Chain A
């Protein structure tokens, strides 16, 4: 079967590759483009570990057709650090011990990044809602919530 060409912006760089027709974005990112930040968890939209941003909005890459991303902006947790400098969310996750086994971390960071881009001063309830589609199987939710609230504070914003 013919491969389909697809081009999109990945973490600020233009990337092009060929995909199988029904290939999901997660496979394209990991196998085709070598971005291993988003993970394969459940494959059914329950766990959130494959979360990426498509045009700034969180999407589950395991349920997204790669061809549907043609011309769009895809961002993963790999693009959050600026060279050696962590993104404030990454720094806060470290400071608050918010990564236990670490498998959910890229999805949590991405969900939190989407939240703070829209709502720089979230309440605790808003943080809980923002990560409600992301499962931490170590059940370390409290440090994750604390880290996201702290990162919001570190941007100089008032904490709700």
Chain B
């Protein structure tokens, strides 16, 4: 049977989650309740957390801290987070955005996880708490690799370095259904320009691997270069490096590989303008 425990504090929830392998944190429910409805999740304990710390946001300073229970709608309500609005708006319709949390999005299986893709290009850190005690910040890329291996821990917050110039952050979700559809793929790019040249490029893909991934070949092709035609061609050449897309009802792996370089080139051409 599946039961629910409601925890008033994060520490209590972390204790249950580390002591019970069949316990699962439920946030907005858009991932967990789907598994319940479809009969994939029938045993164990769903852990609900009502601790207000889970939805706190601290938005001053260069590194923003957002509680894992912050919803997409909460992100959209804050003008300080305007650079994340494109990615938050790409998630579902209004009802999903009122429920889906930024912490939950880290666990969304392919082809979902568009918001996480944006965070990956921003070098976000994930605060993970295992058992009692303080949370430990882990780079998002490391967290996603551990997720693929199936490791556990409770995500309590996300730390997001604020881009110095929000104009240098770009996000695109490619879907076939308008205005809203599931991702064929998504691309996030943080391209800080110093003297007309890219410095510390970060490119992330959603739906091109089992978890959102960094496109390191593209980053190398862009690093230290001006966004001219030759650089764009080199970036496009490196677009598919490290990708492991899957075939699903939205698109085949072949199609995802075919269209990714096109959309990447469009995004970079837009950034060059």
Query: Could you list which residues of chain A lie within 8 angstroms of chain B, going by C-beta atoms?
Result: 1, 4, 21-22, 24, 43-45, 48, 51, 54, 57-60, 62-65, 67-68, 111, 114-115, 128-134
Contact = CB atoms under 8 A, between A and B. Distances in A.
Q: Which of B3, B34, B94, B96 has the most CB of A within 10 A?
A: B94
Q: Which of A60, A62, A115 has the most CB of B within 10 A?
A: A60
Contacts of B179: 128-129, 132
B33 A63 contact: yes
Interface of B: 1-4, 6, 26, 28-30, 33-34, 36-38, 46, 48, 73, 92-96, 98-99, 179-180
Q: Which of B36, B37, B38, B95 has the most CB of A within 10 A?
A: B95
A57 B4 contact: no
A24 B99 contact: no
B48 A67 contact: yes
Contact of B95 (A21, A58, A128): A58
Given A4-B4, A57-B73, A67-B6, A24 B95 contact: no
A44 B37 contact: yes
Contacts of B34: 43-45, 63
Nearest to B93: A133
B65 to A, nearest CB: 24
Nearest to A19: B4
A129 B90 CA distance: 11
Given A57-B73, A68-B48, A132-B180, A22 B4 contact: yes
Given A44-B34, A129-B94, 4 more contacts: A44-B37, A64-B99, A130-B94, A132-B93
Contacts of B37: 24, 43-44, 62-63
B98 A58 contact: yes
B46 A21 contact: yes
Contact of B33 (A24, A130, A132): A24
Contact of A59 (B3, B46, B48, B95): B95
B95 A60 contact: yes
A91 to B, nearest CB: 23
B22 to A, nearest CB: 13
Nearest to B44: A22
A106 to B, nearest CB: 13
A1 B3 contact: yes
A108 to B, nearest CB: 11
Contacts of A4: 4
Nearest to A58: B95
Contacts of A48: 93, 95
Contact of A21 (B4, B30, B93, B98): B4
Contact of A62 (B6, B33, B94): B33
Contacts of A51: 95
B30 to A, nearest CB: 5
B175 to A, nearest CB: 11
A68 B96 CA distance: 16
